Amino acid sequence: MRSDYFNLKLICGVAPILSLIFYTPMNAQSTKFFVGTTNGETVESLALCALDEQQGTLTLVDQLKAGKRPGYITVWGDILYAVSTDSQGEDENTLRAFRIQNDDLQMISEVSSKGINPCYISVGGKGESLYSANYTSGSITQYALKPDGSIGENWYFQQFEGSSINPTRQTSPHAHYINTTRDNKFALTADLGTDKVMIHEVDNSGRLQRYESQPSIALPPGSGPRHLDFHENNRWIYVLNELNSTITTIDYKNGSFKVLSTISTLPADFEGESYPAAVRIHPEGKYVYSSNRGADNISVFEIAKNGELKLVQNFGEPLGWVRDFNITPSGKFLVAGNEKTDQIVLLKLGTDGRIDKHISTLDFPSPSCFVFFK
């Protein structure tokens, strides 16, 4: 009996130690990210994923309810903001705010997007406002953000006008992106329908107003600007053009925006149609990446000393139709979404910025946006 008591005491003492050895909380070892979707059939419309950077493995932690088709999302502190088309009417869809609590979401507010098919959402540089771009109706809106992160009053709305030369995609304006410069002095909108990057000034209270000195940046007819990314030096801006598969480098200095150069995102021998979707700058600020739907690859560019780009790689198999991708804060991995095959793809990046290899895949319907968070 004494022996049995000793064995029980030994087991009880060792068990907690073993549990500490073999159980590691996700927060301690993993890089977490949310994934939006353009699939309108799934109720649990947002994926919470974890990337173990030591093992190079992806895990689908949970699927959460965030409205219908949260095709684009952003995170500010402990608040997730998402576009949605579940209340689609003749003239509006929805923007929602969710508090992130223990890897779950609690909705705290929702407002009208004031337009049809919102496709981009972002938070102003100092966290004072929320921006969204409505693709189909070609408009932008700005809402105030309250101290608790909920969405407040509408501060600004603008309906764009115009068209360009593409007979199917450019018969009217199509706002596809809006975000602020690094210094939070301007907000830029990519208008795919008019081949312009629209410029708005941010006043001292954080509200948008038209920038009369330079209302827009004109790009070549038929280019179709879709997405932008801002270099950390607060000078270089990279505009991804969907309709002619190019990236335009813009130099921003002293309140003036000047086009420097434009480069193709495609391999020289590519034949066929392709539609770039997303552009990202590596955390080190030395490389730019773009996804190409049709060519089904990701292009990698080196940034020269003057900010212009040099194509150094087109990485393909097995990427497919990549609507969006993002680079981990560590700069070591890239996660991408194959929208047509319902897969999240993990890629390993080399120290030279190039993509080394495909690591693994994870199933999720129509992945369309990737946001890392703490």
Whether the CB-CB separation of 324 and 291 falls below 8 Å is answered with yes
Q: How many domains does the chain have?
A: 1
- The answer to whether residue 112 sits within a structural domain is yes
The whole-number pLDDT of residue 118 equals 96
The whole-number pLDDT of residue 13 equals 43
- The answer to whether residue 329 sits within a structural domain is yes
- The answer to whether residue 8 sits within a structural domain is no
CA dist 324 and 336 (Å) reads 6
- The answer to whether residue 352 sits within a structural domain is yes
- pTM, 2 dp: 0.91
- The answer to whether residue 314 sits within a structural domain is yes
The whole-number pLDDT of residue 87 equals 63
Whether the CB-CB separation of 336 and 298 falls below 8 Å is answered with yes
- The answer to whether residue 6 sits within a structural domain is no
The whole-number pLDDT of residue 85 equals 85
Per-residue model confidence as pLDDT tens digits over 102-116: 999 999 999 999 999
Residues above pLDDT 70, as percent of the chain = 91
Q: Is the pLDDT of residue 95 over 90?
A: yes
Pairing between strand 297-303 and 186-191?
unpaired
- The answer to whether residue 30 sits within a structural domain is no
- Across all residues in the chain, what is the average pLDDT? 91
Mean pLDDT, range 289-293, rounded to an integer: 98
SS3 245: coil
Q: Is the pLDDT of residue 70 over 70?
A: yes
CATH number where 90 lies: 2.130.10.10
CA dist 157 and 144 (Å) reads 12
- The answer to whether residue 22 sits within a structural domain is no
Mean pLDDT, range 322-348, rounded to an integer: 97
Reported as a pLDDT band with limits 50, 70 and 90, residue 89 is: low
Residue 268 structural domain = 36-373
The whole-number pLDDT of residue 125 equals 81
Return all residues near 374 (Cβ < 8 A) that are at least 6 apart. Answer: 32
The whole-number pLDDT of residue 92 equals 78
CA dist 68 and 88 (Å) reads 10
CA dist 292 and 53 (Å) reads 26
Return all residues near 326 (Cβ < 8 A) that are at least 6 apart. Answer: 33, 280, 334, 335, 370, 371, 372
